[in-house]
Amino acid sequence: MAKKAAANTLTRGYKKKARTRQQLLDAALRIYARTGVAGLALNTLAEEAGVSNGTVYNYFRTREEVLEAVGLELAVQLSQQILVFSEGVSSGAERLCIGVRTFMGKALDDPEWTRALITVVRYAEGMRSALANYLRADLQAGREQGDFDYANEEMAMAMVMSATMGAMNLVVEGIEMEHADRVAAEMILRSLGVSASKARKIASLPLPRTAD
Amino acid sequence: MAKKAAANTLTRGYKKKARTRQQLLDAALRIYARTGVAGLALNTLAEEAGVSNGTVYNYFRTREEVLEAVGLELAVQLSQQILVFSEGVSSGAERLCIGVRTFMGKALDDPEWTRALITVVRYAEGMRSALANYLRADLQAGREQGDFDYANEEMAMAMVMSATMGAMNLVVEGIEMEHADRVAAEMILRSLGVSASKARKIASLPLPRTAD
Amino acid sequence: MAKKAAANTLTRGYKKKARTRQQLLDAALRIYARTGVAGLALNTLAEEAGVSNGTVYNYFRTREEVLEAVGLELAVQLSQQILVFSEGVSSGAERLCIGVRTFMGKALDDPEWTRALITVVRYAEGMRSALANYLRADLQAGREQGDFDYANEEMAMAMVMSATMGAMNLVVEGIEMEHADRVAAEMILRSLGVSASKARKIASLPLPRTAD
Amino acid sequence: MAKKAAANTLTRGYKKKARTRQQLLDAALRIYARTGVAGLALNTLAEEAGVSNGTVYNYFRTREEVLEAVGLELAVQLSQQILVFSEGVSSGAERLCIGVRTFMGKALDDPEWTRALITVVRYAEGMRSALANYLRADLQAGREQGDFDYANEEMAMAMVMSATMGAMNLVVEGIEMEHADRVAAEMILRSLGVSASKARKIASLPLPRTAD
DNA sequence: AATGAATGAGTCTTCATTCAT
DNA sequence: CATGAATGAAGACTCATTCAT
């Protein structure tokens, strides 16, 4: 909402700059998804984004900066997703479950984006920490609420993140499965010490709908 | 000259050839660990292996073949590890637990090898299936023995593998933790439906010793 | 708004224009001194001058024009220096000596300017002739006054100019030396045929003071 | 002499490598002379040398290294020239005079080489010191032999070198002059404190002939 | 088999210049 | 006039691959 009103008052030059940057990031995501990190050649990127090759360097100083920026972009998109979906839920276990299932849903909806995410998470350290903040809060809440019982928080975070990525990878590789999102979420909840029956119950809750 | 001393030089020649090939693979593993797949340039590989760049092409036709061979090499090394350690154990849950903990031990002992493994597993599809065979057997055994309770075998395999890699990565990145191997194994067992108390018990069993 | 306050802004506009041009030239001199001719990139120049890159093209049509203008700017600054310092002295030998010593003093005072000068003198032919005019007059005067005795005027000019630049370069490179200006001037006078004793005497005269 | 005999015993591979390197340096010198430092583009260099552009990088890691190597090459050529010509002469003043006149002769004979030299001397610091060693020895000898009388050795070196380059530059710019070499040498000797008559005498000595 | 010089297509990066706002 | 985004030609550099020795 706020965005639309604001945009009109900004200069067109500003909009153009922002738009080009976004075009570049979008193009980079598409290429990432198709070809992996190695395939992201900057002249290809320029072509895909519909600008000349020199223009890339008005936004990023080196190829490294492009890779970083793509990671950050994905992190931002993720944050928004997560915030939207688990807003208003106070149970840590449920929030985490919603997060996992949302990601799984994304893997079904948008395999391209997902491949890019998986690639970038591996590649860009900074990306991981962006995710980690949300996760850590949910883990701690779940523990205080008596749902989680894990020996070490770092390990718990590593397990949740890698297991989720592994499950998403399964989906984008085309494995057919009923309710893959619930299956994955249930296993992750159990690994955190939630009892089998409670894990199933939480994993089966309907996902909150959003206006989007 | 060399051609005449048949029997003897054949052996030596053969041994030399095998040695050079091994040097190349070892060098490739080291480079993988340091720089990831993208960093494996063949002239760098030749230098690291102490041979000239042309020599690489006596053993591999293209860069792709090198990457495949490295994957295969790791798979073979892995198979040997796993077979050695879980030989004589019949419980699927215990075998899987031993496998996970053995990998975790390897991550502590040999971070270079581990980084190479993590990289390759992501990159080389063939590699994954080599691991998968051992894993699938243990999962099925555990299920038949009433220890495991998972909704989908593919998902279970994906979770175990990715979670193990995630935990190994944590170790390689230098996180200090008591009994990281047990912590990880316990969580994985729980995710497969093993009860909390039983998971702890299995994860705490002493690892079988080997002659090595 | 700005368009309405005509008379006043015209003046201001004019002054502003002149000021921007001067900013550009000053910035160019600084960059010259730091990086040599090759380092003078126009976007760098714009940044150093605190204007946008497009603005440069309101003052100079091409990069070449910038280089020329810098040369001219230095020539003008030089002319002023020389005129001020040797005004009122009629002996050619003394005038030349004052010129050399003044340049040497400048090398001590303002190494940045000096480096720019040395670079430009080499690069820009036109620059050399600006210096040459003053020099030629002094040489001819000195010869007519019986102080100089050189076989060829072109050669004498080349020697005086290159030797002076060489001596300035020495100073700029940080060699510590007492009375470097006198030492250099004395050698140059001798090379023009002034006797050793007379050369020393002339080189030791106090420099005329200026109001500046 | 020794060279020819030796070359035959060397492997052809070795010869080829040395030859390619020399081709590159020769080509670089030609381009330098024609276009100055800025014109030395590495693909142009490759073309001029008759090799592919990648080959340049088998010999030099960066463009900087090419420039350095060209400077060094010139220094080596110079050293040989100087040694050949002033061999067997013990007077410092005469040796220095021979050096200056030899350079001047070179400027007449080979303007291309000379332009390259002048450019490189300015550009490559390392180059200067190579020249400086020969020069310093002659200056000290001349002083001990009672011919030179200079206040500061660094200044004397700077003056001799820059004056010689200035005079060479005059020649390559096409100024017509009788005995330019003697005129320049005479002025330089005078600047070092040699009396006018003696300077003329030394500068007029016939240059020692060489077999070359 | 081993060598290593040569290749050349492919990429990254810079920078003078244009132009719509 | 000032701005600064966009352009694209030019040049630096990498690297898988070939081949004569």
Tens-digit pLDDT profile for residues C77-91: 887 887 887 888 999
Q: Using the predicted structure, report yes or no on whether residue B11 has a pLDDT greater than 50.
A: no
Residues present in chain D in total: 212
**Of D120 and C153, the one with more pLDDT:** C153
Helix (H) or strand (E) holding A24: helix A12-35
Q: Which residues of B touch A150 (CB under 8 A)?
A: 187
* D 36-75 near C (Cβ less than 8 A): 37-38
The pLDDT of A58-66, averaged and rounded, is 91
Q: What is the DSSP letter of D51?
A: S
> Does the CB of C20 sit below 7 A from strand E?
no
CATH superfamily of B9-60: Homeodomain-like (1.10.10.60)
Count of Cβ atoms closer than 10 Å to residue C70 Cβ: 28
Which pLDDT score is estimated for A197? 95
Residue C2 pLDDT = 42
pLDDT at C113 over 80: yes
Q: Which CATH class is domain B67-204?
A: mainly alpha
- d(CA A182, nearest CA chain B) in Å: 10
D9 contact C CB<8A: no
Let me know: does D56 contact D45? Beta carbons within 8 Å: yes
Q: Which nucleotide is nearest to B53 (CA to C1')?
A: E4
| Per-residue pLDDT at D7 exceeds 90 | no
Q: Which chain B residue lies closest to A182 (C-alpha atoms)? A: B151
Q: Please report, for chain D, the start and end positions of each structural domain, with discontinuous segments joined by +.
A: 1-60, 70-204
Asked if pLDDT for residue C59 goes beyond 90, the answer is yes
Distance, CA of B115 to CA of B40 (rounded, Å): 14
Least confident piece of the model among B32-36, B161-165, C4-8: C4-8
Could you identify the residue written with the tokens 């003052």?
Answer: C59
Question: What is the Cα–Cα distance from B159 to A169, expressed in whole angstroms?
Answer: 10
Q: How far apart are CA B120 and CA B127, in angstroms?
A: 7
Above 50 in pLDDT, residue A7?
A: no
The yes-or-no verdict on residue A45 having pLDDT over 50 is: yes
pLDDT, averaged across chain A? 86
**Which of A118, A128, A155, A195 should one mutate to test binding to chain B, selecting the residue with the greatest count of B CBs within 10 A?**
A155
D16 touches strand E (CB under 7 A): yes
Q: How far is CA D11 from CA C92, D18, D20, D24, in A?
A: 66, 11, 14, 20
Amino acid identity, residue B38?
A: A
Higher pLDDT among residues D36 and A185, named by residue: A185
Q: Alpha-carbon distance C98 to B77, whole Å?
A: 84
Q: What is the mean pLDDT of residues C165-175?
A: 93
Protein C129 CA to nucleic acid E17 C1', in Å? 31
Which of the four pLDDT bands, split at 50, 70 and 90, describes residue A134?
Answer: confident
* DSSP secondary structure of C149-186: --S-HHHHHHHHHHHHHHHHHHHHTT---TTHHHHHHH
Taking all residues of chain B, what is their mean pLDDT, rounded to a whole number?
87
Of the candidates D117, D199, D200, D191, the residue with the CA atom closest to the CA atom of residue D156: D191
What's the pLDDT at C211?
47
The pLDDT-based confidence of B7 (bands split at 50, 70, 90) is very low
Helix/strand/coil (H, E, C) string of chain B? Answer: CCCCCHHHHHHHHHHHHHHHHHHHHHHHHHHHHHHCHHHCCHHHHHHHHCCCHHHHHHHCCCHHHHHHHHHHHHHHHHHHHHHHHHCCCCCHHHHHHHHHHHHHHHHHHCHHHHHHHHHHHHHCHHHHHHHHHHHHHHHHHHHHCCCCCCCCHHHHHHHHHHHHHHHHHHHHCCCCCCCHHHHHHHHHHHHCCCCHHHHHHHHHCCCCCCCC
Distance, in Å, from the CA atom of C179 to the CA atom of B65, rounded to the nearest integer, reads: 72
A55 touches strand E (CB under 7 A): no
Instruction: Give the pLDDT score at B6.
Output: 43
Instruction: Answer whether A touches C (≥3 Cβ pairs < 8 Å).
Output: no
Query: Which residues, 6 or more positions from A42, have their beta carbon under 8 angstroms from its beta carbon?
Result: A53, A56, A63, A66
Task: Give the pLDDT mean for A139-156.
Answer: 97
For residue A4, pLDDT over 70 is answered with: no
Closest residue to F1 (CA to C1') is C58
Q: Do chains C and D touch (3 or more CB pairs under 8 A)?
A: yes
Contact A163 B162 (CB under 8 A): yes
- Between CA D126 and CA A146 the distance in angstroms is 73
Q: What is the pLDDT of residue D15?
A: 61
Check the CA dihedral C66-C71-C74-C80 and report its sign: negative
**d(C-alpha B111, C-alpha B168), whole Å:** 9
Where is pLDDT greater, at A194 or B2? Answer: A194
From the CA of A32, how many Å to the C1' of E14?
26
Over range A23-35, report the average pLDDT. 90
- What class is the A70-207 domain? mainly alpha
How much is the CA Rg of chain B, to the nearest whole Å? 20
Asked whether C175 and D154 are in contact (CB, 8 A), the reply is yes
On the question of pLDDT at C58 being above 70, the answer is yes
Q: Which fold has domain C69-204?
A: Tetracycline Repressor; domain 2 (1.10.357)
Determine the residue type at A90.
S
Percent of chain C with pLDDT over 90: 59
Query: How many residues are there in chain C?
Result: 212
CA-based nearest distance D95→chain C, Å? 18
Q: Over D25-46, what HEC string results?
A: HHHHHHHHHHHCHHHCCHHHHH
Q: What is the pLDDT of residue B83?
A: 80
Range with the poorest average pLDDT among A48-62, B153-167, C113-127 = C113-127
B150 shares contact with chain A (CB less than 8 Å)? yes
Average pLDDT over residues B9-24: 69
Q: Does A180 touch chain B (CB under 8 A)?
A: yes
Give the CATH fold of the C6-60 domain.
Arc Repressor Mutant, subunit A (1.10.10)
Q: Does D175 touch chain C (CB under 8 A)?
A: yes
The total number of residues written for chain B in this structure: 212
Q: How far apart are CA B8 and CA B44, in angstroms?
A: 33
User: At residue A80, does pLDDT exceed 90?
Assistant: no
Mean pLDDT of C61-72: 90
D159-198 per-residue burial string, b: 16 or more CB within 10 A, e: under 16? bbbbbbbbbbbbbbeeeebeebbbbbbbbbbbbbbbeeee
Contact with chain C for residue D147, Cβ under 8 A = no
Q: Give the pLDDT band of residue A1 (cuts 50, 70, 90).
A: very low
Cα–Cα distance list, A92 to A181, B14, B117, B186 (Å) = 18, 62, 34, 21
Residue nearest to nucleotide F19 (CA to C1'): B54
Note the pLDDT of residue C7: 43
Flag whether residue C200 sits within 8 Å of chain D, measured between CB atoms. Answer: no
pLDDT at A153 over 70: yes
Nearest nt to the CA of A57 via C1' is: E13
Q: Chain A to chain B, count of Cβ pairs less than 8 Å apart? A: 94
Mutate to test the interface with B, among A118, A190, A194, A197 (most CBs of B within 10 A): A190
* B167 contacts on A by Cβ (under 8 Å): 155, 158-159, 162
What is the Cα–Cα distance from B161 to A163, expressed in whole angstroms?
8
CATH T-level topology, domain A1-60: Arc Repressor Mutant, subunit A (1.10.10)
Q: Is pLDDT larger for residue D68 or for residue A153?
A: A153
Q: Confirm or reject contact between C132 and chain D (CB < 8 A).
A: no
Residue D183's closest chain C neighbor by CA? Answer: C151
CA distance B86 to B103: 12
CA distances from C31 to A105, C45, C73 (A): 56, 7, 14
C204 token code pair: 């030791």
Distance in angstroms, CA of A54 to C1' of F8?
Answer: 7
Amino acid at residue number B156 = A
Mean pLDDT score, D172-199? 96
Average pLDDT score, chain D: 86
Q: What is the C-alpha separation between A180 and A173, in angstroms, rounded? A: 13
Among A125-134, B9-18, B131-140, D173-182, the minimum mean pLDDT is found in B9-18
Q: Which residue is nearest to nucleotide E15 (CA to C1')?
A: C41
Which range among A170-184, B59-73, C128-142 has the greatest average pLDDT? A170-184
Residue B114 to residue B100: CA distance in whole angstroms: 13
Buried b (16+ CB within 10 A) or exposed e, C29-44: bbbbbeebbeebebee
Q: Which two tokens stand for residue B14?
A: 């053969």
Q: Look at residue C26 and tell me whether its pLDDT is greater than 70.
A: yes
pLDDT of amino acid A10: 39
Q: How far, in Å, is the CA of B138 from the C1' of nucleotide E19?
A: 69
Q: Residue C51 carries which DSSP code?
A: S
Mean pLDDT, rounded, for B18-47: 89
For residue A169, give the nearest of B158, B169, B193 by CB distance: B158
Å from D44 (CA) to E16 (C1')?
20
Q: How far apart are CA D165 and CA D107, in angstroms?
A: 10
Q: Which tokens sit at C153?
A: 């005027």
**pLDDT tens by residue, B67-94:** 889 888 888 888 787 788 788 899 999 9
* 3-class DSSP assignment, residue A52: coil
CA of B114 to C1' of E7 (A): 37
Q: How many CA atoms lie within 13 A of B182 on its CB side?
A: 15
Chain C partners of D169 at a C-beta cutoff of 8 Å? 158, 162
Nearest C-alpha neighbor of D139 from the set D148, D128, D151, D130 = D148
Please compute the mean of the pLDDT values over residues C124-143 and round it to a whole number: 84
Higher pLDDT, C159 or A88: C159
Q: Is the pLDDT of residue C42 over 80?
A: yes
Check the CA dihedral C127-C130-C136-C142 and report its sign.
negative
φ, ψ for residue B149 (rounded to 5)?
A: -150, 90
Q: Give first-to-last CA distance, chain D, whole Å.
A: 13
Rounded Cα gap, residues C36 and C67, in angstroms: 11
User: Would you say C133 and C179 are in contact if contact means Cβ atoms under 8 Å apart?
Assistant: no
- Confidence band, pLDDT 50/70/90 cuts, at residue C68: confident
Q: Is the dihedral of CA C54, C58, C59, C61 positive or negative?
A: positive
More confident residue, D116 or B99: B99
Q: How confident is the model at residue D8 (pLDDT cuts 50, 70, 90)?
A: very low
Q: What does the pLDDT look like over A171-200, one tens digit per residue?
A: 999 999 999 999 999 999 999 999 999 999
As given in the structure block, the two tokens for residue C19 are 């000021």
Q: Which residue has the closest alpha carbon to E3 C1'?
A: B52
Please tell me if residue C96 touches chain D, with a CB cutoff of 8 Å: no
Are B123 and B137 in contact by the 8 Å Cβ rule? The answer is no
Of B118-122, C100-104, D46-50, D103-107, minimum mean pLDDT range: B118-122
Residue B12 has pLDDT above 80, yes or no: no
Q: Which fold has domain D70-204?
A: Tetracycline Repressor; domain 2 (1.10.357)
Contact A23, A50 (CB under 8 A): yes
**Chain D residues with CB-CB distance to C162 below 8 A:** 162-163, 165-167, 169
Instruction: Tell me: pLDDT of B194 over 50.
Output: yes
Average pLDDT, chain C: 86
- Position D9 pLDDT exceeds 50: no
pLDDT band (50, 70, 90) for residue D59: very high
